[in-house]
Amino acid sequence: MSATELDALLPALVDLRRDLHAHPELAYTEHRTAGIVARELRELGLEVHTGIGGTGVVATLRHGSGRGCIGLRADMDALPIVERSGLPHASTVAGVHHGCGHDGHTAMLLGAARHLARHPRFDGTVHFIFQPAEEGQGGAHAMIRDGLFERFPCDAVYALHNWPDLPLGHAQTRPGPIMAAADRFDITVHGRGGHAAMPQHTPDAILAASQLVTQLNTIVARAIDPVESAVLSVTQIEGGHAHNVLPGTAKVTGTVRSFNPAVQDRIEATLRAMAEGVARGSGTRVEVEYLRYYPATLNSADEARLALAAAADAGLHAAEAPHPAFTSEDFAFMLQAKPGAYLWLGQGRADPGPDGERALHHPSYDFNDNALPLGIRWFAAVAARALPAG
Ligand SMILES: [Zn+2]
Ligand SMILES: [Zn+2]
């Protein structure tokens, strides 16, 4: 790809990215964004399908006679954050902010579609997948349930995320885990409630919940192989309303992050057993809700290598990521269904700033437009490598 081919696209893409930033939309309400995406893709002459998994959009570009097909994915949703960037293109929607750079991801994939439609240096089929609701709401899962991969078969899927911890021009990924599984637990301990001066008449829900908090904190240290990585944090404990009343219930809530599905299974099973054990010992009854909302994001080995090779083709400093991140990612569902890889693309803002304002999900965060051509080059290089022409 020559620099001039891409340079011609950039001014309009920067405008589009900033327009998306100024008009952010929350999970499953990305109607304006999806409308712009669909219009841009139709203007390229691509076959466009809308309303997949809610507000998802897929466009298909075929070239040559190759039977191979890949999916390139971007996310479109914003976050419920009050923006404090003070930028001219800051959010015009109260309490909604593109604080994770999905405006940049959408603009990069549109740029890649435009570039590949004009200069199709691949042989096969590319599906451009624009998903809703990445931020904790499972938009990728919704698209898969809506028949994404039956309607648009993919041999492999690829995605990127802007990464403020890496300098601009750098990219990393790794075979195996790249982002963590995220689980939530809510344990309700039921006593009966009664007079605090007559504890002999009621099981003590507060005491049982307290025992549970300390026991849960031993799971990672004692039940998990020390060479594995996981986190369990109790983040909320609720119960009681008066100094002289033993409450009828107490509630313990928290989060679990892990990379290995076997570790995740072990943690859930141990947590359930501990809750039952505490209930038996204290005469209380427990209800355990354990919700696995995002699985671990697991790159397949060949596709992770292809993603790194494509990053080098794109002129990026490509390196294997030394370890995965403990945050989680909806693209994990696509990687459960298909081989593929997820790349971290440097944002050039490794210094978090005095207030951490360059970090993802910060009220002053803004996507770095200088990363736009780098992401477009990477997507194009992935297509060229995965669907080689001649
Ligand atoms: Zn995010
Ligand atoms: Zn994000």
Span 5-49, pLDDT tens digits:
788 899 999 999 999 999 999 999 999 999 999 999 999 999 999
Nearest ligand by distance to the CA of 101: 2
C-alpha–C-alpha distance, residues 227 and 278, integer Å = 28
Q: How far is the CA of 100 from the centre of ligand 1 (A)?
A: 5
C-alpha–C-alpha distance, residues 307 and 73, integer Å = 14
277-305 pLDDT, tens digit each: 999 999 999 999 999 999 999 999 999 99
CA dist list (Å): 54 to 34, 49, 190? 10, 12, 39
Q: How far is the CA of 176 from the centre of ligand 1 (A)?
A: 21
Domains in the chain with CATH codes: 3-179+296-386 (3.40.630.10), 181-294 (3.30.70.360)
Q: Which of 19, 13, 15, 50 is nearest to 34 (CA)?
A: 50
Residue 351 has pLDDT above 60, yes or no: no
Q: How far is the CA of 101 from the centre of ligand 2 (A)?
A: 6
Q: How far is the CA of 244 from the centre of ligand 2 (A)?
A: 47
Q: How far is the CA of 134 from the centre of ligand 1 (A)?
A: 7
Nearest ligand by distance to the CA of 105: 2
Residue 356 has pLDDT above 80, yes or no: no
C-alpha–C-alpha distance, residues 100 and 387, integer Å = 30
Q: How far is the CA of 41 from the centre of ligand 2 (A)?
A: 22
In this prediction, residue 353 carries a pLDDT of: 59
Nearest ligand by distance to the CA of 360: 1
Q: How far is the CA of 130 from the centre of ligand 2 (A)?
A: 13
Q: How far is the CA of 132 from the centre of ligand 1 (A)?
A: 12
CA dist list (Å): 380 to 37, 70, 117? 18, 12, 10
Nearest ligand by distance to the CA of 327: 1
Q: How far is the CA of 208 from the centre of ligand 2 (A)?
A: 38
Q: What 3-state class would DSSP assign to 95?
A: coil
Q: How far is the CA of 25 from the centre of ligand 1 (A)?
A: 13
Q: How far is the CA of 135 from the centre of ligand 2 (A)?
A: 7
Output phi, psi for 211, to 5 deg: -60, -40
Q: How far is the CA of 99 from the centre of ligand 1 (A)?
A: 7
Q: How far is the CA of 303 from the centre of ligand 1 (A)?
A: 23
Q: What is the CA radius of gyration of the chain?
A: 24
Q: How far is the CA of 79 from the centre of ligand 1 (A)?
A: 7
C-alpha–C-alpha distance, residues 104 and 98, integer Å = 9
Q: How far is the CA of 368 from the centre of ligand 1 (A)?
A: 15
Nearest ligand by distance to the CA of 161: 2
Q: In this prediction, what percent of the chain has a pLDDT beyond 90?
A: 93
375-390 pLDDT, tens digit each: 999 999 999 999 999 7
323-340 pLDDT, tens digit each: 999 999 999 999 999 999
Name the average pLDDT for the chain: 95
Q: How far is the CA of 28 from the centre of ligand 1 (A)?
A: 15
Q: How far is the CA of 362 from the centre of ligand 2 (A)?
A: 12
Q: How far is the CA of 338 from the centre of ligand 1 (A)?
A: 22
In this prediction, residue 7 carries a pLDDT of: 87
Q: Residue 302, CB half-sphere, CA atoms under 13 Å: how many?
A: 7
Q: How far is the CA of 152 from the centre of ligand 2 (A)?
A: 24
Q: What 3-state class would DSSP assign to 121?
A: coil
Q: How far is the CA of 225 from the centre of ligand 1 (A)?
A: 30
pLDDT band at 99 (very low <50, low <70, confident <90, very high): very high
Q: How far is the CA of 329 from the centre of ligand 1 (A)?
A: 8
Q: How far is the CA of 161 from the centre of ligand 2 (A)?
A: 6
